[in-house]
Amino acid sequence: MTFRMATLNLHQGFKRWEERRELIVGQLGELSPDILALNEISVPLQTGRWLQQVTRERLGFQYTLIQYTKTNEPSLDEAQGLLTRFPVIETGNLDYLSRSRIAQVTRLEIEGRQVDVYVTHLHHVREEEGLRQYQVQRLFQWIKSRDDVSTSIVCGDFNANPDSPSIKLIPDFYRTVQTAPTFPTGLRVPGEPVTGPGVKRLSRCYDYIWITGDLEMHEAGRCFDQPDPDDPTLWPSDHVGVWADLKLA
């Protein structure tokens, strides 16, 4: 059985959410992922729960939502999560002890086999690459400690291009499904600067899906990458997502 994995950074800021969410649901209906990883879920707006409920009502998707907030004061504002159609066996999270960032894991049952899906969102300041390296090291130490399952997916917004030192720390046995640019889009509020001022549109690859173990990648690409046909400044988010069709060998 082939299943579809996808990611999207929802853009935690309230920027045009009520308009953007309709684009997200429309493109989600076309994509129909079995697993969707989400970064920058807005806690005040409950954007993760909104997507879970609306896709069930409008599209008939039956997703379980697993969600963890950031730590400390940012926990009031931002979370990350996973929507999945597969049975959930176990969940957990890791505090990086660094800028309130976390990673989370969800152990799923897919075709009678166990697969760990890790979601994370690394530090965003470009000049502080050392913090991202520390977070990547912590993440893969944690993954190594959970070695009772050999097949896993690691995904999310890493805020670093493929040639960055932090990305090069990812073990060679993890295979990325694609490295096309995912940030920034042309999202903007009328009268305000575009997201990522001074940065060429879709010039950086920040969002990834890595696979290892018995997973095979059949096809992959970008998703949530279409603006409103009548408004080129309205995109689903300030990032586009990544999708992959995967199969257990």
Strand-pair category, 113-121 with 175-176: unpaired
Q: Which two tokens stand for residue 24?
A: 């997200």
- Structural domains of the chain in order of their starting residue, each with its CATH number: 2-248 (3.60.10.10)
* pLDDT classification of 236: cutoffs 50, 70, 90: very high
Global confidence as pTM: 0.97
What are the pLDDT digits (tens) for 129-150? 999 999 999 999 999 999 999 9
Question: What is the average pLDDT score of the chain?
Answer: 96
Distance CA 91, CA 157 (A): 20
Percent of the chain with pLDDT over 90: 94
Mean pLDDT (whole number) for 209-217: 97
Residue 40 CA: distances (Å) to CA of 1, 74, 87, 92, 153: 30, 11, 24, 18, 19
Q: What confidence score (pLDDT) does residue 136 get?
A: 98
User: Does pLDDT of 60 surpass 90?
Assistant: yes
Query: 């969102």: which residue's tokens?
Result: 121
Q: How far apart are CA 189 and CA 196, in angstroms?
A: 13
Q: Please tell me the predicted confidence (pLDDT) of residue 97.
A: 97
User: Tell me, what's the pLDDT at 11?
Assistant: 95
The model's pLDDT over 71-128, given as tens digits with 9 standing for 90+, comes to 999 999 999 999 999 999 999 999 999 999 999 999 999 999 999 999 999 999 999 9
Residue 198 has pLDDT above 80, yes or no: no
pLDDT of residue 5: 98
Which residues lie closer than 8 Å to 73 by C-beta, 6 or more apart?
Answer: 100
Q: With contact defined as beta carbons under 8 Å apart, do 7 and 246 qualify?
A: no
pLDDT at 8: 98
Q: Are strands 88-95 and 78-84 parallel, antiparallel or unpaired?
A: unpaired
Confidence bin at 13 (pLDDT 50/70/90): confident
Q: What's the rounded mean pLDDT across residues 220-224?
A: 98
Candidates 249, 195, 236, 248; CA nearest to 36 is 236
Burial 103-141 (b: 16+ CB within 10 A, else e): bbbbbbebeeeebbbbbbbbbeeeeebebbbbbbebbbe
Mean pLDDT of 222-226: 98
